[in-house]
Structures are given as structure tokens and as C-alpha cells.
A and B are shown apart, each in its own frame.
Chain A
Amino acid sequence: MTIDVAKIRADFPILERRIGDAPLVYLDNAATSQKPKQVIDALTDYYTRYNANVHRGVHTMSVEATEAFEAARAKVAKFIGARQPESVIWTRNISEAINLVAYSWGDANVHAGDEIVITAMEHHSGIVPWQQLALRSGATLRIIPRTGNGRLDMDAARKIINSKTKIVTAVQMSSVLGSVNDVKTLGKLAHENGALILVDGAQSAPHMPVDVEDLDCDFFGLSAHKMLGPTGIGVLWGRPELLKAMPPWMFGGDMILEVSYEKASWNELPYKFEAGTPNIADAIATGVAVDYLSALGMENVRAHEIEITGYALKRLTELERVEVLGPTDNADRGGIISFNHADVHPHDLGTALDRMGIAIRTGHHCAMPLVRSYDVVAAARASFYIYNTTAEVDALVEGIKQVERYFQK
């Protein structure tokens, strides 16, 4: 073990929970992670000690709230390797981050005849905003396919990304297959063709070191709730020169410089994109979540997950009636494993495992086209994080065996 899992588990009050008689085995981390007490305490601390609006008052609490809010932004910037904190914009989640780019940058820069390139592994939030931009602009949406073993088809990508391409968007880690995609090469292909790249970091930022400068991407998005933070807050990072040139997307307080009844002028970055009172408490708590992960070290988080995923792949592929949807080799792969049982539908499996305290996700995982490309309508998914153990993988495998026997009776 590269991280002390027992010590980590003690920080997560929810892991004490029992489901019926059974201890909770939480394996739905790709949907949302659990929160350490440090993050929960940060929320309580803000509301009990210095709840005040930011960027306005001169009173003590407003100053404290503003300092904590902006410090959290700087922490997130450092966490993803962004040089300027002002290039980090708070959003509700990554869906809002992608929508911001599709509306603000997209409406100004994408026109009829242009092409928008996405991958076969995008979450619905990486499909629909671009589909709608294509409909508004008359541009064409093109899709980089996957290979039979659940990887992006990079040869196809080289053909699909061309001089008509305006933007490429790609998940760094698939939320269904667990595949880690070579977004750096996709970015290079985009730039060679004068296009931009948006990297969807919803599943990568929580689980592996991310450096937007090294990736050489143009936009990067994440959701805090998948990385120990609260729900309702996410981040869009963008190259400052791009963000400066983009028009605001939402209008209101805080995002303006000067307002008359006839016109208004816009505040500087990042406030131009943060209309209204922001999500202060959750932003501050996100900073604490980032502190927690940084103290563990993202290299160590990644190493732990490689170990547990390798073990889970070995155990699950030993089950004759179970088929794993994504790559079964552990290279370039994150801790997300989707699978199907030949005799038990994922929903029945999910309900039955829940009786044993084991929480997995079942369904289409907000990626209908990808799941359907495996000729199934649904799948079961187990996904791991820093507090999961190999004993919990054993519990999952034993659980599946019991369910198997139950449905054979």
C-alpha cells in the first residue's frame, strides 16, 4: 500500500454506516465520492463562524469569506497545474463548465461547415451540449470511435480531426470503461489543425495527477463532488487569452464593471463568468478536499487504485458468467469496471448486492450510445477510491456468486 487506507477510512464518517445488517461497501465512486470529515467541517465552519457575501463588504467576515473563497480557487489552480488562479472559473459542475464553453466560445466561433469532434466515450454532458451547438450553428458533429478492446481508435482520430475541426472534446478517463485516453495526442492533432481541445476531467482529476500545462489543452473541467468535495460545485479552467476573448454567458451581479440602463461593461477574469453570489461554502470546502488529496499525493492515489483495479480485474474475470465491458489489462486504466452477468440483469444484481450492503451503479451510466455499442441496454459498474480495500473487492465477488446461486434456485 502506498497510502494508509485504514487511516483514511477513519476520516470518512459515512463508512461506519450499515445497510440493514451489513457494513457499507461503497463502490459507486464514479457517480460521487464520499466526503472526509475535514470537508464536512469546512462547511460547518463557514456557516457557523464567517458566513458573509464575498467581494463586497468591508466588514471582517466578508473579508474572511473572500479570502477563503479565493484561496480555494488558488488551491484548485495549483492542483491542476494552472499558472493563473483567475483562469479557474467556479461552475455548478462539469456539465455547466462544458455548456459555458459550448455557448460562449462555441456560438462566437463555430459556424456552418465547421466540424466538432467528440469521442465515443463521452458522458451525456460531453455529447448533448455539442450536439446542440451543431444544431444552432449548422456545424457537423463527428465521433472518434472506440476499438474492440475499449480504447480510443487513434488512427481514426487522425483522419477525423482535420482542417474543418474547430474543437475536440474528450474524456481523460471513461466513466464506463475506465480507459485512460491519450488526450495529449488528441490535443496535438487538434492544434495542428488550428482547433482547440477541451479535456473532460470528471473522472481523471479525482484519481490521477493532472497538469493542464503538460497536457497542453485549452479547456479543462471537473466536478468537485467526485473528488471528496461537496455537490453543486465544479470548475472550468481555460487558457487566459481564450477566456478573455470570450463573451460572458450569464449576466448579473459580480460579473459587471459598470452598469447603466443602456449598457454594461464586464468585470475581469474570472468574475466575468461568475454572475451572482457564488457557491461560497462549497468552493471553500472544495479547497479543503484538494488539500486532502494533495497531502496524500496524487501519484500515491493513482498507485493505490492501480493496485485495487488490478486485483478486481483478476477476480472478476475469474467469474465464468461475468463479462467486463472495458479493457481487461490494467495499463492506462482507472478504477472503474463495468460488467454484465450472463444470467442476472444488472438491476437485479444491484438490488441483490444492496441487500449485502454493497453499493454499485447499474444502468446506462449517462452514456447511452457507448453502453449500447456493446449491444446491451445496461451494465453494472464498480468504481474505487482511496478508501476502498481488496477485502471490499472480495465482498463484491462473493456477493456476485451468492446472487448467481440465488437466481439459479
Chain B
Amino acid sequence: MSQAHIRAAMSGQPNCGKSTMFNAITGGSARVGNYPGITVDRLEGTYRKNGYDIKLVDLPGTYSLTSYSMEEVVARNVIVDEHPDVVINMVDATALERSLYLAVQFMEIGAPLVLGLNMMDEVKRSGVTIDIKRLSQLLNVPVVACTARLGQGREELMAEVVQLAKDTKGLWTPIRLSYGPDLDPILERMTKRIEEEQFMTGRHDPRWVAIKYLEGDELVIEAGRAAGPLSAELEAVCAEAEQTTRANSNTTPDAIIADWRYGFINGLLKQGVVTGGDELRRNISDNIDRVVTHKLLGPLIMAGVLWAMFYVTFTLGAYPQGWIEDGFTWLSGLGTAYIPEGYVQSLIVSGILGGVGAVIGFTPLILIMFAMLVFLEDLGYMARVAYMMDKVMRIFGLHGMSVMPLIMSGGIPGGCAVPGVMCARTLRSPRERLATILTAPFMVCGAKTTAYLMLVAAFFPASPTGAMFAVVIAAWVFVLLVSRLLRSTVVKGESTPFVMEIPPYRLPTLRGVAVHTLERVWQYVKKAGTVILAVSIVMWAVMTFPELPEDTVASFDARRFIAEEQVRTANPQATGEDLDTLVSEAQKPITDEQNEAALQYSVGGRVGSFLKPVTDLAGFPWQANIALIGAFAAKEVFVSTMATAYSMGEVDPEDATSLSDRLAADPAWSLPAILSVFVFMLLYTPCMVTVVAIAKESNWKWALFSVGGSMAFAFVMAVTVYHTTRLFV
């Protein structure tokens, strides 16, 4: 059976429920990809019904189609370059007027449009009636009422897509809006010249090009200058137009165009489309916000929410974490029992199970943390946080929207700098974005959380929550201060517009939260299965080879033999098991000494000792040296390397002493050394993956700056902390 193929694009403003509808339509078929050269995610999915095969691409959410942000450029380019058969525009029907502003711009380009009026349940509840039929007639566009969170309107929407694709057959007809007596004649003139010269008409509608010139769209004008000499003529006309509009109404052409677009929408809605309601009415969200963003209560509630997230994560997450650790202990036991002693056993038990197990053990914590974060995001609380925090963030040269990438990176522990750095894309200012990207890796990401949890359990067993809280506060302080420093030195410049919508509170759907959470947790587990597995093996090899020379091993064997003989002579009556216990007790210090000697003899140990004169300034124990080197690959490796460093050659699989206990028992970890490692861990070079992400989001120059700068800064801070604390201890 042959299928008819339709290519459709899904568009909409932020918070319009576009993703929910996209998921409802494509089911589990969606695949994440990338637009070439940039890092905006490209989501694609398919919908099949009645012999139609509809390929759907999800455009980034934008309010408009200017060229000020990467998202807007992407959305526009997909429409212009890929020329989809149909564009679905999801619309927040509770804010119809503003939402149609984007729809009108799609109609100006000429794309065949299907409007999905989302949130119709909320509209009904607020006592407003929208005459769908009338709206459809006036716009001359099919309109479908939807409630995406319930999946309502999905089939009808897709039926309209099929119908529209059949009707238009790929033919685009841009609408001709009037932009008033000042601009219309000028537009007419420009359009005519563009048509005559066939100026960029292969890609764009002539009148649309003229509008973009009048709007001063940098990308179109730049492309125009490359396309031909007509550009200079058009720019001259634009300058003339600006003189006219300045003289007549003291404003610029782009302002007039926006006015007339809104005028068109407003006039249309007044023709009986929307009845009832009051556009300034207070809704439930406004009432909630009177408390949630209250002068005093707001910040208190925010602190409370953050604290609650901690509490829930660490208390609730402890149970599954324990089960997973038990599972890995059991697996290690199996490995020791069934794999013959030697390199393979050592590799699997110490290297792989020890390394990966330590990381996987933290998955439940990250799952719980992510679920709460996604919930707060979808609820709309994060926008309130940005609103409340902007004034503070601005002091440090950041933006209210920086809060989000910072939180994602681990401003609430459990995040990850990779999505954090990537989500800094929502920042329109290149400078604030750069400062955010460069400092976000200081935050306590999930990987560092694992390291800190282990260290905190070892050294501050009495108040783990308090210690973790202190680490997080320290992270924020460093991020803000360093941002300020960067914004007044290497990334100087003015701040950018804040202009932001505060969406109404909307209870997220269980499915939405689950899908997003699992996606992120899966990324983490994948990292554990690939990078960390590889690094665990490499680290194991680095710490195993070269082995101690035979004569050294022989001397340890001899000492063990002597110890055994001494035990036998001292306890002539002891036999069987009792004797074995006594012997192994006597031999243990010798074995430990041998293990330590072996590790120091290995490549890892040698690098560690080589760096020791330097790291001694910061008081690091030598195991931390190796672990911190390994952690550049992925911060989780810190825990697994420490585990390897402290358990390598362990003969007794029944020994349940956890890594934390072993650390606590090691006298090398004095309080100054502990604090020094804590600070260094927080600030030093981001992991490999983050460095790559930084390079992708900015360029390699900044990525290398991040590597070198963080390392130097972290070392200076660690040395300072070490020596300052030593004065008091």
C-alpha cells in the first residue's frame, strides 16, 4: 500500500503546551536530534493514520520570529528552508491575542497553517467563550479546540493537517496585512523592486523580504547584502521610511509594524470571536502569587522549597540506594567466588563492579531530584524564581534566567552541568550567557554530589544534611562572585532585556514529568555505562600496572610467612579456624602496606607522587590526587577511584566496611585537608563532557579558558583554605 507523505512542523510560543501535544501526537516515536552547527534540539516524530504518514518536526518555542535569538532563527529557517507542507501552530487560548502574534507572522511567510487552540478547559472555566468557527473564518485558517494534557483535539488536529495538505498541495499564499498609510506605499514600492530584480525570491516571498528590511532584521539584511546591489537601495528606502514615521508619529517602522499586527489581531477578536471575561482579570495564579512572590514570604517559601527538595531526596533516596549497593556487593561476591583469581577477577570486581556500582548507586537520588525539578519547571514555579532572583542575579552580572541553568547544573545538588550549560541557550544576551556557562560547572552536579555524599558521610556523619547544605551555599557564593569577576573583566558589557512571561500555575501531567525525568536519568545511566565504564577500566589499569617487582613481592611474602610463624609459636594450642583468624589478623597490616606500595608503584601512583610537591601545598592525601585526576573524565570517577584506591587487593569479600568508613579511619584526612579537597572538588576543571558542551555552546577558546581558569582558581582557593584552616586547628 502506498502512503501519502506529509511534512508538518509544530510551532508555538513558550508555555503553550506544544510539547505535550507533540508527545500526544507522536507517541513514543519522537527522536531527538540536532540542528547542524548549533545545539538547539531537533525533535522529530511520526503520526500514521488512514494511509497518511505525517512526519512532524517540533520547532523551538518562540514568541516571535525575529532574529534576536537562536531559537527564533531556527524556527524561521525550518519554515523557510524545509518548506513544510503544513505548520501546526499551538496557541495558548487563555492568552489568545498575544499567541496569535506568532501565528500572524507564519501567515505573513505564507505557510499553510492549522491553529490548535490549547487550554480550552481553562478558557471554559474562566467563563470566556471563543467562537472557533468565527475565528477560523476571519483568519481563513482551520482552527481546532484542544486540551493537550488530556489528549483532546489530537485526532481532529491531524485530520485538518491532512485536509489542508490536500487542499494547498504545497502552494503557499502569504497574507497581505496593512501596516498603515505611512508604510503601505513604501512596502509596495520595495516589493515591486524586489520582484523586478528577483531579489532573494528563490527563498522568500518578496513582500516578506520588504517587511523584514523595514523591521531591520539583521540576518535578512546581511543575506541581502550578499545577494546583490538592490540591498543598498532597499536600505536607503528604509532610512527614508524611518524619517517619515519619525516625523509623523515619532516612532520607528518596526514599532509601527508590531502595532498594526496587534491591531489586526485585536480587531479580529472583537468581531465576536471572544466574549465574556476581562483581559485584566485576576486568576487563581495571581492570587497564589500574592503569597508565593510576596516580599517576605516569597524568599522564605523559595528557601523552604529548596530545603524540602534536599530532604526528600536524601531521606527517601537512601532506601533504593542501599538496595542497589547491596546488589553490587552481592555481584562482587559472586565475581570473587566464581572467577578465578587473577587479572580478570581484579578487573571485574575492583575495576568495573566497584566503579560502575558506586555511580549507579546514586541513580535513585538523581531520579528523585530530577522528578521534583521537572515538576517545579512544568508547574511554572521556576519562572517565579527567575522573577524573584533577577535583581540579585543582575548585581553579579547575570540574568534572572541564569537561575535555571545554574539550578540545572546543580544549584540544587543532583543536576548536571551538561544540560545546565545547554539550557543557558534561553539567555538572549551573549555576555550573560557566557558568564553563566563558565560558572555553572562550579555547581554541585549529580556526579559531585556522589563524591560529596561519600566524603560527608565519612567526615561529617553527625550532620550530613547541614554539611551538604554548606557545600551548596559555597557553590552559589563562588558562582556569583566569579560571575561578577568575569563580567567586569573578560566578558564586560551591558545587560540584556529581562522581558519575560510569568505563566499561570499549571499542574504538570504525571506523564510529562515521567518522560522528562526518565530522559535525563537515562542520560546519566548511559554516561555510567560508557564513559565511566571506560574510565573505570583505564583507572584500574593505571593503578594496577606496572606491578611491584618480584623481589619486593617476595619480601612481603617472607614477612607474612614470618608473621604466621610467630603466631603459631605464640599460640601453640590454637588450631583450625581460630588459627586462621589469628594469622590473617597478624598479616593484615603487611598486606595493606603491600597494597599501598603497589598503588604507589603503579602509573597512577607515580603521577600522584610527581604532583605531590605541588598538591602538598593544598594538603591533599595522595589517594585524592589520583582520584581528582581521574575525575576530569567524569566527576563520578572520583568515588570509584577512591573505592579502587582504598579496596584494591582486598581479599575478604565479606568485608562490609564501606568506603566512607575507610576514609574516616585514614589519619591523612585532617580537617584542613578535608576542607581543601572539598573546595578543590567544587571549583576545578569541569568534566570532559562539560568542556565539550561549553565548546559547543561558545567556542573552544572559552572551553580552554574554562579548563585552565578553573584549575588555577581552584588550586589557589584550595591552598588558601588549607592554610587558613590550619591556623585554627
- A and B physically associate: no
Query: B interface vs A, CB < 8 Å?
Result: none
